[in-house]
Structure 1
Amino acid sequence: MSGGNHGDEPTRLWGARFRTPPDPALMALSRSPASHWRLIPYDIISSMAHARELERAGLLTATERGDICAMLQAILDDFTAGRIAPTEADEDIHTFVERVMTERLGPLGGKLRAGRSRNDQSANDLRLYLRHQSRRLVRGMLALQAVLIGQAEANIATIAPGFTHLQPAQPVLFAHQLLAHGQAFSRDIARLQDWDSRFSRSPLGAAALAGSAIAMHPELAAAELGYAAPTENSIDAVGNRDHVAEFLFALAMHGVHLSRLSEEIVLWSSRQFRWIALDDGFATGSSIMPQKKNADIAEITRGRSARLIGDLATMLVALKGLPLAYNRDLIEDKAAAFDAIDALTVVQPAITGLIRSMTVNVATLHRQSTEGFTLATEVADWLSRRGVPFAQAHEITGAVVRLCEERGIELEQLSAADLALVDPRLDISIKAALTPEAAVAARQGYGGTAPARVREQLGRLQQLCATQSDWCDTYRGPMPGA
């Protein structure tokens, strides 16, 4: 039954050579889940482009094409408004659209299938959806960037302890620490931009695998749908899902970066750190311990990153060992992509609100910025600038720290006698270098934590964010509901 309904039998896009109908167990496995309905607008918009291709091929008159496109728009409007939806009898979204078309237009509705296959349709629908969603997700990333930049601007003079191995290392500006996360997010956006450029190729016209003998100008449909060009190889067009795997990698990498930021938020908001205070609207409590204020948003975000990594692994494993061209294994592309997108959709506004509303405890950060002998490197650098080989300077500094530990004092509390006791080349003038302000100011190189350099970094990141926002605005592909 390759046409429309025959009596009360459901519409199917295949089965003409079969003697018996499919078993219910087969259909239960084969039927698309409700999550696939989100692709219906893209399928309908693509069908309009295909109708114009059929008119160019002479299979539709201008009037027929107009009637089909008008009906497709009506179906889209009815679906969007909730007046119609796929039924249990509809195997997938393509079956749903053709069923409604033939119910409303009769045999004319069945003409639309000429020259294409569900193979190129499904590849195209998902690709359009991902290109649309990439812009929406980037806007979410840019919203997070904006609040990170806002907190960095507010803390351009706030000094904090920097860590390596989760041990106090050197003083840094807290703005520098926040912008380190901003740099990671800017790369996440750039990956999606690069991904989009590489996969701005339309699969329409590939049909089942060999190309279409009817749709002879896929470059026109590609341009209409916002692509740069059609795909180069029809087999590759329907048999590859590199674009899904790479999209999932970009999201998984973003999830990892969100998780690292979330881990720091959990630490910063703890009673042990007390670097930040969470707004009540973006924290939760305990059902048994009334005093608790938990960074649940950060913890859930950290956990969701595991799902994003799992979605990427699912897609890669599904692709491994598949022969060309199309195989039904590829249906896993949608489940993995939808899950990753849905996870980020709820994470992004929550983590953005948390960062925007948190209060930074400036005095606490400043006090802790020198704890754990974070100014020790300043001693070694001071000696090096006076001609002492750094290997010796390192040893001398170690002896200074050891003396401080024995006395129970900090580096800045050393007296001239203490310094001379360790090494005669140390004198009291070193004390000018033993402040957190002097330590951060000394890091004047490009990308360093000196206030002037951090202000420059902040400005460059703001400019980059503006450019990345423009990328979202210039997209010309379909964005249903946007």
Structure 2
Amino acid sequence: MKLWGGRFAKEADRAMERFNASIAFDKRLYRQDIEGSIAHTSMLAKCGIISEQDGRVIIEGLKNILNDIESGQLKISEDIEDIHTFIEQQLTDRIGDAGRRLHTARSRNDQVALDMRMYMKEAIRGIQRSLLSLMQIITDKAQDHIDAIMPGYTHMQRAQPVTLGHHLMAYFQMLKRDYERLDDCYKRTDVMPLGSGALATSTYPIDREYVAQQLGFGAVSENSMDAVSDRDFAIEFCCCAAMIGMHLSRFCEELVLWSSVEFNFIEMDDAFSTGSSIMPQKKNPDVAELIRGKTGRLYGDLMTLLTVMKGLPLAYNKDMQEDKEAVFDAVDTLAISIPIFSAMLDTASFHEDVMLKAAQGGFTNATDAADYLVKKGMPFRQAHEVIGRLVVYCLDNGKDLSDLSLEEYRGFSDLFDEDVMQAISLDTCVQNRKVYGGPARQSLSVAIEHAKAFIRQHQNSDN
């Protein structure tokens, strides 16, 4: 059965039917489609567009179809064009003519827009829950390593001493923005399009606000042509997904580097590592590498939707059927990547002693040595030059700033005194950076408390 067969005098070519069909991927929308149809039927009966008796029979039939699909008694056939046709055909086969009244005052255009928005609302909240779990792990790890000194990097060169806790909380901030972006995306997804019809609403006296209330939508679309042809919410979600992927990929890149022998900052748990088929000594961070690679899929999903939509006139066009696979892939990729990343990070072991030793090399306290001279009265630009020459001296003599004698220091400036060693100790370098947002325990503790409050707030709101 085709919902549009009356106009046509001959059957569609089999190859065309396969090319046109979407059932292979839109079958995952069965629940949203049925729930949307139940709300639509309830509204039709309420408004007197169909009889209350037909409404009850249709709703009971739809509920039975849903139960049969979810229990496994009913298999969704891929020989039918789409999930909407499959469910309507099942309904008509079961209850007869009453089932043919279901599609009154509705088009597949606004029906699929409704299904996608319902699906996306659930998907967004699910991903946010996964993000909160990961953010909790990061916060706990940061608390555990609040005083663990490590080198901070710019240009992948050792720059200044920070703490592992501070470094980890940088990723918390990235994920927090991701969470908030999804909140914004949810607001624009939470708009009910049903009642827009094919593009110009309906001549029936329908009650769109009632349907929106039944389905838990916060708003009703205000332009029917836009409602059926809008996929901004899907594009926005894929943009959010791509950014989440990008942040996870950045984190994974560091974890891959840190797990190398050259860094040895971290060791992945055996449960989240793999070996080599030829080299028996290998322990590979494949989870991190795979997540890093899957970010490319998320970028591709975003580019797919942007490209599909870029030249479409109003209103609905069949091109828009391509939205589903990209959205589903983005959802599925995040649904597997975030939890496995969380488990990998939660079980990883950090080598604080190795990180400290790395921070002790590379002159990470050079800025603090310059600041020491500034506090003694020297202009910063001059102090920068003095410490630069001091670093060259150390390199030429195989020494570090902490290895120099007071006499060597005074060879570069008479302002150096016995307190210089305390001033450039790594602990001093870190703990003196008490500025809000800095790595000192005092500042980092505040950041961690704010993070915990954010997690609690949004866990409670989700419940």
Question: Matched residues, percent identical?
Answer: 40
- Give 1:86 shift: 2.6
8 Å contact kept, 2:124–2:182: yes
Matched, 1:415 2:405: yes
Q: Contact 2:209 / 2:220 at 8 angstroms: preserved in 1?
A: yes
Matched, 1:210 2:200: yes
Give, as a single letter, the amino acid of the residue that structure 2 aligns with 1:343: T
1:187 equivalent among 177, 180, 183: 177
320-329 vs 54-63, greater mean Cα deviation: 54-63
Q: CA deviation at 1:260?
A: 0.3
Task: Report what 1:148 is aligned to.
Answer: 138
Give the residue type in structure 2 aligned to 1:390.
F
Structure 1 residue 347, shift from structure 2 partner: 1.1
**Shift in Å, 1:33:** 4.1
Report how many residues are paired: 463
Q: Is the 8 A contact 1:201 1:228 kept in 2?
A: yes
Alignment of 1:246 with 2:236, yes or no, is: yes
| Residue 369 (structure 2) pairs with residue 379 (structure 1) | yes
Distance 2:277 2:135 in 1: 34
Aligned residue for 1:41? 31
Does residue 452 in structure 1 map to residue 442 in structure 2? yes
Contact 2:46/2:52 (8 A) holds in 1: no
Instruction: Note the alpha carbon deviations across 1:85-105, whole angstroms, 9 max, x for none.
Output: 232431100100111000000
Task: Tell me by how many angstroms 1:61 deviates.
Answer: 2.1
What residue number does 1:268 align with? 258
Q: Deviations over 1:34-67 (max 9, x none)?
A: 2211100000000000001111231222222112
SS class of match (2:411): helix
Distance 2:80 2:326 in 1: 22
* Contact 2:131 2:175 survives alignment (8 Å): yes
Among 66, 69, 75, the alignment partner of 1:79 is 69
1:339: which partner in 2?
329
Task: Provide the residue aligned with 1:201 in structure 2.
Answer: 191
1:257 maps to which of 227, 247, 253: 247
Pairing 1:96–2:86 present: yes
Partner Cα separation in structure 1 for residue 400 and residue 205 of structure 2? 78
C-alpha distance in 2, partners of 1:396/1:39?
Answer: 68
Distance 1:213 1:173 in 2: 66
Residue 69 of structure 1: aligned partner: 59
- Residue of structure 1 equivalent to 2:315: 325
Aligned with residue 294 of structure 2, among 292, 304, 323: 304
Unaligned runs of 5+ in 2: none
| Aligned pair partner of 1:117 in 107, 112, 128 | 107
Is 1:286 paired with 2:276?
yes
- Please give the alpha-carbon distance, in whole angstroms, between the structure 2 residues aligned to 1:59 and 1:427: 91
TM-score (norm 1): 0.95
Contact 1:171/1:374, CA 8 A, preserved across alignment:
yes
Q: Which residue of 1 aligns with 2:381?
A: 391
Change (3 A) 1:138 1:84: same
User: Distance in 2 between the 1:265 and 1:404 partners?
Assistant: 31
- Conserved 8 A contact 1:378-1:433: yes
Rounded Cα–Cα distance in structure 1 between residues aligned with 2:26 and 2:191: 22
Q: Counterpart in 1 of 2:303? A: 313
Q: 8 Å contact 2:23–2:80 — kept in the other structure?
A: no
Matches of 1:386 and 1:33, distance apart in 2: 75
| Pairwise CA distance, 1:469 | 2.2
Distance in 1, matches of 2:232 and 2:347, equals 39
Equivalent of 2:353, from 363, 375, 379? 363
Q: 1:215: how far off?
A: 5.4
**Is the Cα contact below 8 Å between 2:245 and 2:295 reproduced in 1?**
yes
1:477 aligns to what? none
- Per-residue CA shift, 1:376-432, capped at 9, x if unaligned? 001111111222111101001101111111111111111011001112222232111
CA distance in 2, matches of 1:215, 1:110: 19
Tell me, in whole angstroms, the C-alpha distance in 1 between the residues paired with 2:21 and 2:313: 23
2:414 equivalent to 1:429: no
For the residue of structure 1 that corresponds to 2:153, the secondary structure is strand
Paired residue for 1:178, among 165, 168, 179?
A: 168
Give the root-mean-square deviation of aligned CA atoms: 1.0
Displacement after TM superposition at 1:147 (Å): 1.2
Question: CA-to-partner distance for each residue in 1:210-257, whole Å, 9 max, x for gaps?
Answer: 012225211110111111121010000001100000000000000000
Q: CA deviation at 1:472?
A: 2.8
Q: Distance in 2 between matches of 1:469 and 1:85?
A: 36
**Hey, what's the Cα distance between the residues in 2 that align with 1:247 and 1:213?**
34
Q: Deviations over 1:331-361 (max 9, x none)?
A: 1110100011111111122111110001111
2:283 match: secondary structure:
coil
Q: State the secondary structure of the residue aligned to 1:90.
A: coil
Would the aligned equivalents of 2:23 and 2:81 in 1 still touch at CA under 8 Å? Answer: no
Letter in 2 for 1:401: V
Task: Name the SS of the counterpart of 1:172 in structure 2.
Answer: strand
Shift of 1:125: 0.3
* Stretch moving more, 50-59 or 90-99: 50-59
The answer to whether the 8 Å contact 1:186/1:465 transfers is no
Paired residues of 1:373 and 1:411 also in contact (CA < 8 A): yes
Q: Secondary structure at the match of 1:39?
A: helix
Cα distance in 2 between the residues matched to 1:426 and 1:329: 72
- C-alpha separation between the residues in 2 aligned to 1:207 and 1:79? 27
